Structure 1
Amino acid sequence: MSSRLGNLKASASEAASHLLETFFNKSITRRQLIDANQLQKLALTLNRPTLNGKDVSEHPPTKGTPVPPGYHLVYFTPNGTEAELGNDGSDTTFNVSAPFTRRMWAGGKMTWATDLSLRVGDDVHETTKLLSATPKKSRSVGEMVLVEVEKEYWGTKGLLLKDRRSWVFRPEIDLDAVKEVPKPLENTVRGPSIIKDIDAQSEEGHPGEVVHGPLNLINLLDYWRDIHGNGERPREISYRALSPLYAGQTYNIRTDAIKNTENGKTWDVLVEREGTVCMKSEITA
């Protein structure tokens, strides 16, 4: 298996099997203090200088300030040196073996505890486990591997948040073969950078810098809190990236439908640009 995976002709099925074998019945736990400065810098970057009703323009939020939905993504960034990271700057722990080295963030699901919340000053443990690794193949994009991981965030009083992420891994780029803009699936953007750099444009055929999908997700959650949530957090969100957005483009976030359920309400919220749906979500509260 290992020698086969070292060959660039290793199949998606072999790569998926290898990842499943590596992380069978395993999880990885990291610990971090939820510091105020990091939250402040993210809020100001998003042009939202008020957190929990208090201005954080000059001073970071105080201990106990709730971390808004989605803002936890600024924490638990990859450890290690630059050489140990992926080409896109992301953590490679759950990456698929070569040649499937291009990671694209396809979607996911977040579920928040109803009685606990992530707060500034908390000592939090993040536990990550592999849920699945599935070989896929399509006529337009060829072989790929769909990987799903689940992250749980635990505080001293219990589980705060479950964050399930779906990634698509495609073979490394053939520079001679790049003649046109990649299809939307190829552009389901990756972390942790907010935008991909200019070199990546020429390598992968993008017409501009690609906006990081989770940045759109955070903006989507902020929209829901402002318009529908009265500043409160949702109970759950499921989302899927469908089409790329590039730096400098203007897009709209809108509510497509509101439905009553046995346990509350759901909102279908879309990120759109010129009539094209770039991300869709279902939010429950």
Structure 2
Amino acid sequence: MSTPCQAPGRHVHSSAQIATTELLTKVKGHKFIRKQLLDGNQLQKLSLTLGRRSESSTEEPPDGTPLPYGHHLIYFTPSQFESELGADGSDTTFNSPAPFTRRMWAGGQMEWNPDISLKIGERVEETTEILDATAKKSRDGSEMVLVDVEKRFVTPRGLALTDRRSWIFRQPLNAPPPSPSTPISTIPTTKSHTQDALSPQNEYPIRHLVWSPVALFRFSALTFNAHMIHFNETWTRQVEGHPNVVVHGPLNLINMMDYWRDVHSLEGEVKAKGISYRALSPLYAGEEYTIGTEAVEGGSGGEGRYGLVVKKGEVVCMRGEVVGVKV
């Protein structure tokens, strides 16, 4: 028996399904192509932000310097006027339509060409296209939209990297009731730091990290990322419901690949062929967390699989599996 507002046999689309259809109609099948010179100044500033003293200096790296794994994320940054950004400051090119406006980095895969690396001083072409948008349900039953995007980076020597990434878009939280109390304001006294420690339960070192609000702001500036959850404490607390500004998903991915490079590449004898990763729980400024190795599996042809994990205490925040190949 049908209700007055529903014809017999008619399928009622959810808000998430309507949003995915609208987004796919807008950008599905379109390829966005940009070319950019990979300049050394940008890479040097990232090394300073990461605190990697061995790779930071008073001079930018010379032309021909290969980009470390994941460091391409500071290039081909968003290119929109402020008036075109979302209410939260995010780039809206591949954002889901309203009401699914809360964007989160969910995971992805990267595939590197072991024979062709991205290098400083080269002009690289990036081609971006949306692969799919899917209506999903979260664990609490609420609707959300999953958006998958692929980026291909081609140098004058050929394809160097394919980067597929996924974003989750949720509906806004209910606005908190107005409070007569003074807005929360803190003075950021935490300093970012990284330290490796050996663990008796693991043959590989455990890396301890803390990110300050200052470092997160610098990373936002490097990536031209105006998403306010990473630098605006009032927004992240009162609108997004987080306890503090959020550590960037791309920053954690870079940290994971830097850890793999330092611990498992054996001074370049093993190259990364790819990584699949998934973000599981947010991390915040001032929190200490770790990156470690869960498992290493050998394979045929000199390949190996390295299971990496990012944890805050016993909470798993990100997992990744790197495929390495001997050179």
Would the alpha carbon gap of residues 195 and 24 (structure 1) be closer, same or farther in structure 2, given more than 3 Å must change?
closer
In structure 1, what is the Cα distance between the partners aligned to 2:122 and 2:322? Answer: 26
- Quote the residue 2:322 is aligned against: 283
Matches within 5 A, 1:1-285: 11-51=15-55, 56-138=56-138, 140=140, 142-176=142-176, 192=225, 195-199=230-234, 200-232=236-268, 233-263=271-301, 264-285=303-324
Runs of 4+ in structure 1 off by over 6 angstroms are none
| Cα distance in 2 between the residues matched to 1:36 and 1:141 | 46
Tell me the distance in 2 between the aligned counterparts of 1:195 and 1:115.
35
Greater shift, 167-176 or 190-199, is seen at 190-199
Cα offsets for 1:52-93 (capped at 9, x unmatched): xxxx41100000101100111111111122222234433211
Structure 2 residue matching 1:204: 3-state secondary structure: coil
CA distance in 2, matches of 1:22, 1:83: 19
How much is the aligned-residue C-alpha RMSD, in angstroms?
2.1
Identity of aligned residues (%): 50
CA drift of 1:10 comes to 7.1
Question: Which secondary structure state, in structure 1, belongs to the residue aligned with residue 176 of structure 2?
Answer: helix
Alpha-carbon spacing, 1:257–1:135, altered in 2? closer, same or farther (3 Å): same
Mapped to 2, the partners of 1:231 and 1:41 lie a distance apart of: 23
CA offset at residue 244 of structure 1?
A: 1.1
Q: Which amino acid aligns with 2:163?
A: D
TM-score by length of 2: 0.76
Is the 2:17–2:135 contact (alpha carbons within 8 Å) kept by the matching residues of 1? yes
Deviation of 1:109 (Å): 0.6
8 A contact 2:38–2:119 mirrored in 1:
yes
Aligned residues: 262
Query: What secondary structure does 2:272 align onto?
Result: coil
**CA pair 177-10 structure 1, distance change in 2 beyond 3 A:** farther
* Post-superposition offset of 1:141: 5.3
Give the 3-state SS of the residue equivalent to 1:135 in structure 2: strand
Deviation at 1:261?
Answer: 2.1
SS at structure 1 position matched to 2:230: coil
Deviation string for 1:198-217 (max 9, x for gaps)? 02222122111111111111
Which has the higher Rg, Structure 1 or Structure 2? 2
TM-score by length of 1: 0.86
Runs of 5+ consecutive residues of structure 1 not aligned to the other structure:
1-8, 179-189
- Higher mean Cα deviation, 78-87 or 201-210? 78-87
Amino acid at match of 1:24: K
Residue type of the alignment partner of 2:275? I
Query: Are the equivalent residues in 1 in contact too, given 2:176–2:238 (CA < 8 A)?
Result: no
